[in-house]
Structure 1
């Protein structure tokens, strides 16, 4: 499946004319997979429909601008808050669904640390009249749905991969960028204070990931496991859905529009 973006439109999901022999298309995916990609596609549409946090339709400055908050500060607050909420939600899922005790221990640590960081960021943002998100971003919600659809050891590995290693690498990048660009004293201090904890989380996640790889390789192999045929088909669907979500993520990233740029009047998302 390919994802195309015509001028002035949202993302359009275009299935191939004919599926390859034995291949997988969007029409073959489990309904959960189709819903996940539609949600990620909706994120791209939202990017084109909603005004930038730094711009209002009326032309009046937003609250952050009135108190001298720059675009770098607003961007950091938004991205850091989204990442923190996604980590907490994924870790709560892990507490209820993980089968590996080490995964549960890691998840509890993530809940404790990221909840504390989320609260501190919110306090700083509210004190400076900066809007702060209270939920994960659209694409992160899609990944959370994909995680929730997994079970057993496959869930454990996906959590360690997506919200242990990958998510912390991305979040570390957000905080390193903030240290270099954000000039607001409280926000810069928050970024510097939190970064070492994020780096520690990444090291913990990499250790957890490495300890699980031999088992995961068997469970994601050719079927020489205890999983029945139906369960194996579900795992194949989830892998297909992961690829589709990754493509949708790339679309969302390409569709981010800089402040002041002209936005399309309409956007459409079709599956």
Structure 2
């Protein structure tokens, strides 16, 4: 093999290695069999779904304890129940895909919880329903629709499809509750 052929072969090999490294960099997980798992964007979608569930459970627990309004308490308990189920479903998919999920709400939701902790009575109820109820559910509902449309991993897509109707229902209930409180 002459130098020109050796150089060409080396270039082809280097290109192949670079392509393999790029493909590997796009995959952040392995499934339980050790096969390559989901893309980083789909792993991030799964983490976001978990984060939304964590935040709703935490805020719902706070509202169940702090609120004196029976409608707010009922809504909060539904958030705890439904989002706890959603979190368990998310954990199952994450375990199968070897994705590590957060164990607590993110900084923005911790800040909201700290603010809610300073409120009481009707002021607490209004803030909880408008922020954790309406605003968060609008945001999460839109994210789930995006996950359904754009996730590449079939399990992430299926999880988003399963959770979307519940979140849509929560959004609608939160809007009605919010309107009734004004």
- What TM-score, normalized to structure 2? 0.80
In the alignment, the residues of structure 1 paired with residue 155 and residue 43 of structure 2 have an alpha-carbon distance, to the nearest angstrom, of: 13
In the alignment, the residues of structure 1 paired with residue 29 and residue 138 of structure 2 have an alpha-carbon distance, to the nearest angstrom, of: 31
Instruction: Give 1:82 deviation, angstroms.
Output: 1.0
> What is the CA RMSD across the aligned residues, in angstroms?
1.6
Tell me the alpha carbon deviations over residues 56-79 of structure 1, each in whole angstroms, 9 at most, x when there is no partner: xxx8x7435962311221111111
Note closer, same or farther for the CA distance 1:64–1:145 as it changes in structure 2 (3 Å cut): farther
Kept in 2, the 8 Å contact 1:87–1:111? The answer is yes
Alignment of 1:19-98 (within 5 A): 62-64=28-30, 67-98=36-67
Aligned to 1:132, which of 101, 104, 111? 101
Tell me the residue number matched to 2:159: 190
Tell me the alpha carbon deviations over residues 19-51 of structure 1, each in whole angstroms, 9 at most, x when there is no partner: xxxxxxxxxxxxxxxxxxxxxxxxxxxxxxxxx
Number of equivalenced pairs: 154
In the alignment, the residues of structure 2 paired with residue 118 and residue 188 of structure 1 have an alpha-carbon distance, to the nearest angstrom, of: 15
In the alignment, the residues of structure 2 paired with residue 63 and residue 186 of structure 1 have an alpha-carbon distance, to the nearest angstrom, of: 14
Tell me the alpha carbon deviations over residues 221-262 of structure 1, each in whole angstroms, 9 at most, x when there is no partner: xxxxxxxxxxxxxxxxxxxxxxxxxxxxxxxxxxxxxxxxxx
Alignment of 1:198-209 (within 5 A): 198-209=167-178
In the alignment, the residues of structure 1 paired with residue 80 and residue 149 of structure 2 have an alpha-carbon distance, to the nearest angstrom, of: 27
Aligned to 2:148, which of 170, 173, 179? 179
Tell me the alpha carbon deviations over residues 167-204 of structure 1, each in whole angstroms, 9 at most, x when there is no partner: 00111121111111112111111101110110000010
Structure 1 unaligned spans of 5+: 1-58, 214-271
In the alignment, the residues of structure 2 paired with residue 124 and residue 170 of structure 1 have an alpha-carbon distance, to the nearest angstrom, of: 22
Instruction: Say which SS state the counterpart of residue 133 (structure 1) adopts.
Output: coil
Tell me the residue number matched to 1:111: 80
Kept in 1, the 8 Å contact 2:42–2:156? The answer is yes
Structure 1: which 4+ aligned runs deviate by more than 4 Å?
none
Kept in 2, the 8 Å contact 1:67–1:128? The answer is no
More helix by share: 2
Larger Rg: 2
Aligned to 1:210, which of 168, 179, 182? 179
Structure 2 unaligned spans of 5+: 1-24
Whether 1:144 aligns to 2:113 is yes
More relative contact order, 1 or 2 (CA 8 Å, 6+ apart): 1
In the alignment, the residues of structure 2 paired with residue 63 and residue 204 of structure 1 have an alpha-carbon distance, to the nearest angstrom, of: 37
Instruction: Say which SS state the counterpart of residue 63 (structure 1) adopts.
Output: coil
